[in-house]
């Protein structure tokens, strides 16, 4: 009996929060080829095509993105190249190969005006360049005809990179009080949660006799991956201090968004409805507070 050739998975953004976790979670699902910025320039379509065509992966997993939300307002060209044009090229190449493209998007494709958590089919209306370019990436993938899974995430944090968790822990050693926005609501989502759920979904597809890419044609599309529950940024900061068991934590002073002006407008409601994950895959993300405790314990 001839041994089956291992599935090849091209993973981008391995130095980022989600990419780092995916590199560990995807073990066992195939041969992972991790591409960092030195091996793959996401702002250069030719670099992307060369990488994909030389590797000929069965699955392309793309968590890499231009995530400097405020900087994107003045660096539209780069943001669009990485968040919109790169996913479009990946989708074209995935279709040509008959491969599956797994891509990550954001709650910022919504305007935040809805009073309930956003479902996958709700109307999009991004309020900043970051959200607009991420939406363009989603739309390009959907229009390509490639087999795909798009996972929208929210308020991502982890033990590496630049994120709210690490920033607030740093401030805890520098200040006696911190002023944090309290009128933006969402669900802080640990990068390891995103990676674990992704691996679980791909593991289900791997069992399909038709093959993973063909399975995704029936089960693919857009899904929301975020922690269960909700809080504000101020509530998140208070929970971080409590879970970190700091001896003398700073006092959290809740403030409105207008008192913390930023170049990019943020949605007041970033809650994502994750019930589709349960319906389609039997997966329920953990409560944000439980995930936070696990993330701090794993440091």
Tens of pLDDT, residue by residue over 133-156, are 999 999 999 999 999 999 999 999
Which of the four pLDDT bands, split at 50, 70 and 90, describes residue 298? confident
The verdict on whether 223 is a catalytic residue reads: no
The pLDDT score that the predictor gives to residue 207 is 84
| 103 Cα distance to chain centroid | 8
The pLDDT score that the predictor gives to residue 1 is 33
* Per annotation, catalytic residue among 104, 108, 130, 157: 130
Single pTM value for the model: 0.96
The pLDDT score that the predictor gives to residue 273 is 98
Tens of pLDDT, residue by residue over 218-275, are 999 999 999 999 999 999 999 999 999 988 999 999 999 999 999 999 999 999 999 9
Q: Within the chain, what is the greatest distance between any pair of CA atoms?
A: 68
| Rounded Cα distance, 229 and 231, in Å | 7
Mean pLDDT of 68-74: 97
| Rounded Cα distance, 105 and 64, in Å | 10
Tens of pLDDT, residue by residue over 52-64, are 999 999 999 999 9
The pLDDT score that the predictor gives to residue 3 is 42
pLDDT over 80 (residue 77)? yes
For tokens 């809740």, what's the residue?
Answer: 254
Please give the radius of gyration of the chain, using alpha carbons only, rounded to the nearest integer.
19
CB 168 within 8 A of CB 177: no
Mean pLDDT of 200-215: 90
pLDDT over 60 (residue 24)? yes
Which residue in 133, 139, 130, 165 sits closest to 267, CA to CA? Answer: 130
The pLDDT score that the predictor gives to residue 11 is 98
Mean pLDDT of 74-82: 98
CB 215 within 8 A of CB 208: yes
Mean pLDDT of 199-214: 91
The CATH superfamily label for domain 8-162+189-227+271-285 reads: NAD(P)-binding Rossmann-like Domain (3.40.50.720)
Q: Domain ranges in the chain?
A: 8-162+189-227+271-285
Tens of pLDDT, residue by residue over 81-139, are 999 999 999 999 999 999 999 999 999 999 999 999 999 999 999 999 999 999 999 99
37 burial (CB, 10 Å; 0-12 / 13-18 / 19+) is middle
What's the order of all strands across the beta sheet hosting 221-224?
Answer: 31-35, 8-12, 59-62, 100-106, 147-153, 221-224
The pLDDT score that the predictor gives to residue 36 is 81
CB 52 within 8 A of CB 1: no
Q: Which two tokens stand for residue 241?
A: 């201090």
pLDDT over 90 (residue 288)? yes
Average pLDDT of the chain, as a whole number: 95
The pLDDT score that the predictor gives to residue 5 is 60
pLDDT over 70 (residue 2)? no
The pLDDT score that the predictor gives to residue 4 is 52
233-243 helix and 288-297 helix, angle to the nearest 10 degrees: 40
């Amino acid at each position: 009996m001839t041994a089956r050739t291992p599935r090849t998975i091209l993973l981008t953004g391995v130095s980022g929060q989600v990419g780092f976790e995916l590199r560990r979670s995807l073990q066992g699902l195939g041969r992972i080829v991790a591409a960092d910025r030195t091996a793959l320039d996401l702002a250069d379509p030719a670099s992307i095509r060369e990488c994909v065509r030389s590797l000929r992966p069965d699955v392309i997993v793309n968590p890499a993105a231009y995530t400097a939300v405020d900087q994107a307002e003045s660096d539209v060209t780069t943001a669009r190249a990485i968040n919109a044009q790169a996913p479009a090229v990946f989708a074209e190449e995935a279709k040509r190969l008959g491969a599956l493209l797994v891509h990550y998007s954001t709650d910022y494709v919504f305007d935040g005006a809805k009073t309930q958590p956003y479902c996958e089919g709700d109307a999009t209306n991004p309020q900043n360049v970051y959200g607009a370019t991420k939406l363009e990436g989603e739309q390009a993938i959907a229009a390509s005809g490639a087999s795909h899974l798009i996972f929208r995430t929210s308020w991502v944090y982890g033990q590496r990179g630049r994120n709210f968790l690490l920033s607030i822990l740093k401030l805890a050693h520098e200040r006696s009080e911190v002023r944090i926005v309290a009128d933006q609501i969402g669900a802080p989502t640990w990068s390891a949660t995103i990676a674990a759920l992704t691996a679980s979904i791909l593991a289900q597809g791997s069992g399909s006799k038709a093959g993973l890419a063909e399975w995704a044609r029936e089960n693919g599309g857009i899904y929301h991956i975020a922690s269960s529950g909700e809080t504000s940024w101020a509530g998140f900061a208070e929970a971080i201090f409590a879970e970190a068991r700091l001896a003398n934590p700073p006092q959290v002073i809740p403030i409105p968004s207008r008192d913390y002006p930023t170049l990019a407008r943020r949605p007041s409601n970033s809650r994502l409805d994750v019930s589709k994950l349960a319906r389609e895959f039997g997966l329920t993300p953990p409560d944000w507070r439980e995930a936070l405790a696990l993330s701090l314990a794993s440091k």
